[in-house]
Amino acid sequence: MMRFAAKRIAAMIVILVALTATMFLLQKVSHTDPVHAYLGANASPAAVAHERHVLGYDRPIIDQFFTYVGHAVQGNLSVSLRTRRPVATDIREYLPATAELAVTGLAIAVVLGGLLGLGSVGRWRGSGVFRIVLLSGASTPSFLLALVGILILNGKLHWLPATGDIGYTNAPTGPTGIPVVDTLVHGQIDMFGNALRHLILPAVCVSLGPAVSIGRVLRTSLESAMDADFVRTARAKGLRERTVLFRHALRNSLSAALSMTGLQVGLMFAGIVVIETIFAWPGIGLYTDQSIPPADFPAISGVTLVLGVGYVVINAVVDLLQAAIDPRVTIE
């Protein structure tokens, strides 16, 4: 276990340094001057020169890079050129909404992927239709799926809201910053229902692609397991097919599906940026989208580092779950 933790920590450090170096390099090769973005296009040359010195952009590149890395280790992600606030403060404000959308989308993806894999192998009634619908939805680009969902479910049917994470201006904002949780904590059932309705459509749009990938891997693993000797033995004992599928084949097939789930987290983060922009979801995806036009590189770099940490941690958790589910898998 200690060796596994050490490997993961080392991998996290390497990934974060690589991400930081990449973002830093992109900032330097960009033709946009962050100082002008900070002061405005009408700033005088003297003001630009002074602010460049204050922000440290006139120092050698190596010094700038190591200074940024040192501050990042301490949790200081610099100051946003757009909001004029510490990037860490902005991320703390926007991160709960993204966490709400990502966790819900991942949960839906796991459920839909499990139904797709189990239904295909078990040949459940209606599984063919479910498979066609899910594959069609996953084959559609997420932005197009979101726009179609808004047009039909909001514009035509008026079932689900199109923007935001809650429709109340006086909704509670604590203790978590997640509306579906905070409204329940404060006993606001009407607000909870409203927040849940706002969450459904963007979460489904985020989940369909990962759901199909998870379902395909699970189906392949289940098909291999159903032809294995231990399954033949279970059948020879007279066990029902459903019992064989759930009690024997499923557990031996979850390892590959868990690996695919960990890989899909990174793709889900990329999709969330698009989905949050379309639905005006107040998360770090929308924050990043708003930071790109003014070349707010401190904000973009900060978000990239946070997502990188999240991706590495989630994959480490997936490895631990694989070892817990399948004794043949070792974390050493």
Q: What is the pLDDT of residues 179-227, one digit of tens each?
A: 999 999 999 999 999 999 999 999 999 998 888 888 888 888 888 888 8
Helix (H, G, I), strand (E, B) or coil at 110: helix
Tens of pLDDT, residue by residue over 16-71, are 778 778 877 877 777 667 777 777 777 888 888 888 888 777 888 888 888 878 88
Bridge partners (DSSP) of residue 79 are 86
DSSP 151-202: IIIIIIS--S--SSS-S-TT----SSS-HHHHHHHTT-HHHHHHHHHHHHHH
Please tell me whether residue 79 adopts helix, strand or coil conformation: strand
User: For residues 99 and 177, is the Cβ–Cβ distance under 8 A?
Assistant: no
Sign of CA dihedral 142, 148, 150, 153: negative
Q: Which two tokens stand for residue 248?
A: 């024997």
Over 90: is that where the pLDDT of 82 sits?
no
On whether the CB atoms of residues 273 and 300 are closer than 8 A, the answer is: no
Question: Half-sphere exposure (CA, 13 Å, Cβ side) for 163?
Answer: 4
Q: Residues 151-175: pLDDT tens digits? A: 999 989 989 998 999 999 888 888 8
Return d(Cα 235, Cα 238) in angstroms, integer.
Answer: 5
Please state which of the four CATH numbers 1.10.510.10, 3.40.50.300, 1.10.3720.10, 1.10.1040.10 is assigned to the domain occupying 88-325.
1.10.3720.10
Domain ranges of the chain: 2-73, 88-325
% of the chain exceeding 70 in pLDDT: 95
Mapping DSSP to helix (H, G, I), strand (E, B) and coil, where does residue 86 land?
A: strand
| Confidence bin at 279 (pLDDT 50/70/90) | very high
Examine the pLDDT at 296 and tell me if it is beyond 90: no
- With tokens 């700033």, the residue in question is 43
CA distances from 6 to 2, 167, 308 (A): 6, 45, 18
